[in-house]
Structure 1
Amino acid sequence: MLIVENLDAGYGEAQILFGIDLTIGEGEVVTLLGRNGMGKTTTIRAIMGLIPPKAGRISVAGRDLTGAAPFKIAQAGIGLVPEGRQIFPTLSVEENLIATAASRFGKARWDIGRIYDFFPRLKERRANRGNQLSGGEQQMLAIGRALMTNPKLIILDEATEGLAPIIRQEIWSCLTALKAEGESILVIDKNVDALAKFADRHVVLEKGRIVWRGSSDELRSDSAVKDRFLHF
């Protein structure tokens, strides 16, 4: 589904990523972990074409998209739930969802009715503007907006940042349900224990380099990794 090979990237003369290798298979949930400032969001920005790679290769479903424009990468089937949600504040919930609707890969799995079934709260608030929603509702809308592109892969950058614990649990339940639907997911978040309950594999970054990778069972049992690289 997604293959990132030997990726170097950064901002101007500053190199942030060094030789990143990352793969996500169909229906697989992979996490990108690490403390703040270690290169997680930069990795996402490079995958999405928001910053150009200095070296390496990025491909989606066998198609080489290294250096492609962001809209080309979105068209290839990557849906992004960005850090900070970034929904359209003056559009209604329904307008936010319709704005990104697309069906590029045969019959659409996700349409507005299915999004409302998945997130009943969005249906209740469908006429409200984006800036009238709570943080949790905005995150649900951001996920729904990404799903409306009918992506092959959905990426979530800081999936539950700034949300109350009860809302975080709703988001984890949502992602678990999406996995059961067969969605491929790459997720960044600081809640390692919650991620370990449903993710297939984990990748840990430290200063722009991958320093550990493994399964949820391996992550749970390796306290040294959590203490050294994931202590927030």
Structure 2
Amino acid sequence: MLDVNGLEAGYGESQILFGIDLRVKEGEVVTLLGRNGMGKTTTIKSIFGLVKPRAGSVKVGGKNLTGADPHKIAMAGLGYVPEGRQIFPTLNVEENLRATARPGKWTIDKIYDLFPRLKERRRNMGNQLSGGEQQMLAIGRALMTNPQLMVLDEATEGLAPLIRADIWSCLARLKQEGEAILVIDKNVDALTKFADRHIVIEKGRVVWTGTTEQILATPEVKDRFLHV
């Protein structure tokens, strides 16, 4: 589904990524882990063409899309829930959901079934929603593109515990429905309840990769690379 090889990228004269390798197969949930400032968001932005890679390749469904324009990458089947949500503040919930919709299994009604709170707030403007509601909307909007792979950057950052639990339940349900997901978040304990594999980044390099069973059996990985 997604195949990233030897990805290098940076900003200006600063290099941030040094040969990132990353793969997500159909129906698989993969996490991208690491402390702040280690290159996780730059990796995602490079995949989506928001940062132009300096070397390496990004393939979606076998098609080379390295450095392609973001809309072409979205059209290839990647849905993006960015850090900070970035919903349309002056559109209401339903208008946000329809703005980037493409035909497929995900419809307005199915999004409302996934997030009943959005149905209750469907006439409210984006800037009238709480942070948790905005994150639900951002996920719903990405699903409305009917992607082959969902990518979430800081899935629950800054959200209240009850809202975080709702987001984790949502992602677990998406996995049950066969959605492929690549997710960045700091809550390793929650991620290990439904993720298949984990990739740890340190200073722009992959330093560990393994299954949920392996990361649970290797607590030194969390101690060394994930604790602040």
Interval containing the TM-score (normalised by the shorter chain) = over 0.9
Answering whether residue 138 of structure 2 is matched by residue 142 of structure 1, we say yes
Secondary structure of the structure 2 residue equivalent to 1:114: helix
Secondary structure of the structure 2 residue equivalent to 1:53: coil
In the TM superposition, residue 63 of structure 1 has moved relative to its aligned partner by 0.7
Q: 1:227 aligns to what?
A: 223
2:199 to 196, 203, 208: 203
Query: After alignment, is 111-120 or 17-26 more displaced?
Result: 111-120
Secondary structure of the structure 1 residue equivalent to 2:54: strand
- Ranges of 4+ aligned residues in structure 1 off by more than 6 Å: none
Q: Deviations over 1:146-197 (max 9, x none)?
A: 0000001000000000001111000000000000010000000000000011
What letter matches 2:2 in structure 1? Answer: L
Secondary structure of the structure 2 residue equivalent to 1:8: strand
**C-alpha distance in 2 between matches for 1:75 and 1:210:** 28
Mapping of residues 59-138 of structure 1, within 5 Å: 59-103=59-103, 108-138=104-134
Answering whether residue 149 of structure 2 is matched by residue 153 of structure 1, we say yes
**C-alpha distance in 2 between matches for 1:97 and 1:167:** 20
**C-alpha distance in 2 between matches for 1:67 and 1:171:** 30
What letter matches 1:225 in structure 2? Answer: V
**C-alpha distance in 1 between matches for 2:216 and 2:84:** 28
Answering whether residue 174 of structure 2 is matched by residue 178 of structure 1, we say yes
Two-structure CA RMSD over aligned residues (Å): 0.6
Q: Structure 2: which 5+ residue stretches go unaligned?
A: none
- Quick one: percent identity of the two aligned structures? 72
In the TM superposition, residue 219 of structure 1 has moved relative to its aligned partner by 0.8
Kindly tell me the number of residue pairs found equivalent between the two proteins: 228
Q: 1:9 aligns to what?
A: 9
Answering whether residue 49 of structure 2 is matched by residue 53 of structure 1, we say no
**C-alpha distance in 2 between matches for 1:84 and 1:51:** 17
Q: Structure 1: which 5+ residue stretches go unaligned?
A: none
In the TM superposition, residue 113 of structure 1 has moved relative to its aligned partner by 1.2
**C-alpha distance in 1 between matches for 2:9 and 2:162:** 36
